[in-house]
Chain A
Amino acid sequence: MSELRDLYQEVILDHVKRPRNSGALAGASHRADGDNPLCGDKVTIFLSIEDGRITDVRFQGRGCAISLASASLMTEAIKGKTEAEVRAMFERFHTGLTARDEDDAANALADLDKLAVFGGVREFPVRVKCATLPWHTLVAALDRATQPVKTE
């Protein structure tokens, strides 16, 4: 149960129940769709970017608790950040969920504030793609990708 509680932390369950920044964003300057066809998880990320800085972000989607909470927490974390900053955040987030070495993973997550709640995902390798789907989709939006991204 404790490992499960590490995965499904209160913060995650709270964001599943009350997703932040959910819905379409009118006048978004960037958007991208992402999906995990195997799970049926789908997410759309909308961004307003002014002078290289994310001034607003919204997401729409359906999926498992991990992917929904990840999208919700991500939108909170990236608002006001520059493109370069959020790309660096994703790199640390990814390391935090996948690094072989436990200390490397913990260090990567340490300065990600609330996003550290996803540290438990590392113990469930098949769920990493759920947590990273919104981030991959975010990067696709930044790159103005026209093809939907998949994390499978």
Chain B
Amino acid sequence: MSALQTVTASRSLDVARIRADFPILSRRVHGKRLVFLDSAASAQKPQAVIDAERHFYEAEYANVHRGVYWLSQRATDAYEAAREKVRRLLNARETREIVFVRGATEAINLVAQSYGRTFLSAGDEVLITHMEHHANIVPWQMLRDEKGTVLKVAPIDDAGELDLDAFARLIGPRTKLIAVTHVANALGTVLPVQAVTRLAKTYGIPVLIDGCQAVPHQAVDVQALDCDFYVFSGHKLYGPTGIGVLYGKAALLAAMPPWQGGGDMIRSVTFEKTEYNELPWKFEAGTPHFAGAVGLGAAIAYVQSIGYDAIATHESELLAYAMRELSKINSLRIIGQPRRRSGVVSFDLGGVHPHDIGTILDHDGICVRAGHHCAQPTMDRFGVAATVRASFAIYNDRDDVDALVAGLSTVREVFRL
């Protein structure tokens, strides 16, 4: 028993210490303690990330891959070191499989525009699920409108789970790409991505996984998943805005044409012919956001210093507490009851519009997302225009949940529920 307690203690995370790492959490909003429950939209930044970017600009900044001078080499080394940190985070086989982009949205657009336009033709099908973020819907619609491809949508059940049998039945001879989210941003459902890739492999269909809501909460191993593309945004992983990652298997990336042309992505240019650069730089036209990449590298180091085991233990305990406390509130309905949930809980409170709830909670310094969460088809599936979504991160604690619950009782008071 005592040994078990020791193990548990060593794996648990010191929230107070972590909160101290995030300067913004000490500020007050409307005179109240800031209760930040919108990390699924974008996470706050630890001092380590702010310092890393600041230090980079103050001491190591010059354009990358260009200068012969020392400073440019330092900047290039810092940029490429960040790429190596991402490789290790995802356990990718090679560093050249990591392409820096602006965010997950750009990563998916890159795959749609480069892979999709090259390897899919009229009648070919892209299979997604009913609980995708708009970023994993719209690029495929654009491809459909241009190339005449077909967008197939796998249904979800009332619990907010992917119907894996229906998903399997939708795979056919014309299915050329499968694009699924790892964790659904509006519901928190953890999808059986391993089963999806296993299924896809039997048919030889490439799989793209949107990892935006997974990477902040759990270790991801792209080799174990055996996915072909994996994308995420840095700003949801405590990193800077404007930097994100496309992981792609080297063979696929090598076969894909560049999607933007310009500097850095070329080896040589004449007016007759341009030779493209190697991976990954072939996909990084123009001066990249390397300062952001350095910040993302610092964010990864920060997360790894805490450890995904401790993060998962803390967050699942907190989420369970939140679910328990929210369930006690009369007329509160949680949207989606997936078996495995990560990071977020979406709910309706007595039919009060989420924006009214958002305004009242904000008055108490509580930040939640109120709206459709860029997942309108998911909202439609559950017959709501919008929900309130509380999302959790490493720096949230039971006080945050208690503040939310108290704020919701103010809502009930105002609306006489």
Query: Which of B150-158, B234-242, B348-356, B397-405 is the interface stretch?
Result: B348-356
Give 10 new A-B contacts, CB below 8 A, not counting A13-B414, A65-B415: A3-B363, A4-B410, A39-B370, A40-B371, A62-B385, A64-B353, A64-B355, A65-B356, A124-B359, A127-B355
Which residues of chain A have C-beta atoms less than 8 A from B415's C-beta?
Answer: 8, 13, 65
Given the known interface contacts A40-B385, A40-B386, the answer about A7 and B359 at a Cβ–Cβ threshold of 8 Å is yes
By a CB distance below 8 angstroms, the chain B residues around A13 are 414-416
A124: chain B residues at CB < 8 Å are 359
A5-B414 contact in complex given A63-B353, A124-B359, C-beta closer than 8 Å: yes
Known contacts A13-B415, A40-B385, A62-B385: A4-B371 contact under CB 8 Å: no
Ordered by A's residue number, 6 sampled pairs between the chains whose C-beta atoms are within 8 Å are: A1-B413, A4-B360, A40-B372, A65-B352, A126-B359, A130-B355
Q: Which residue of B lies closest to A130 (CB)?
A: B355
Whether the pair A39, B371 counts as a contact (CB closer than 8 A) is yes
Q: Is A84 on the interface with B (CB-CB < 8 A)?
A: no
A38 within 8 A of B: yes
Q: Is A86 part of the binding interface, using a Cβ–Cβ cutoff of 8 Å?
A: no
Top 4 nearest A-B pairs (CB, nearest first) are A40-B385, A64-B353, A64-B355, A40-B386
Kindly identify which residue among B353, B379, B385 contacts A65, using a CB–CB cutoff of 8 Å.
Answer: B353
Task: Output the least CB separation between B315 and chain A (Å).
Answer: 28
CA distance A67 to B289 in the complex (A): 41
How far apart sit A78 and B410, CA to CA, in the bound complex (Å)?
34
- Kindly list chain A residues whose C-beta atoms are within 8 Å of the C-beta of B372: 40
A:1-59 near B, CB below 8 Å: 1, 3-5, 7-8, 13, 38-41
Q: How far is the CA of A66 from the CA of B354 in the complex (A)?
A: 12
CB distance from B259 to the nearest CB of A (A): 28
Number of interface residues of B (CB under 8 A): 19
* B residues in contact with A130, CB < 8 Å: 355
A130 to B353, CA, bound (A): 12
Interface flags for A108-141 (1: CB within 8 Å of B; 0: not) read: 0000000000000000101100100000000000
Q: Name the distance in Å between B360's Cβ and chain A's nearest Cβ.
A: 6
| Chain B neighbourhood of A39, CB < 8 A | 353, 355, 370-371, 386
Chain A: CB-nearest residue to B413: A1
Residues of B within 8 A of A62 (CB): 385
Is B359 within 8 A of A38, CB to CB?
no
Residues of B with C-beta under 8 A to A64: 353-356
Encode B10-31 as 1/0 by CB contact (under 8 A) with A. 0000000000000000000000
CB pair A1 B359 closer than 8 Å: no
Counting chain A CB atoms within 10 Å of each CB, the highest count among B356, B385, B386, B413 belongs to B356
Given the known interface contacts A39-B371, A40-B372, the answer about A66 and B416 at a Cβ–Cβ threshold of 8 Å is no
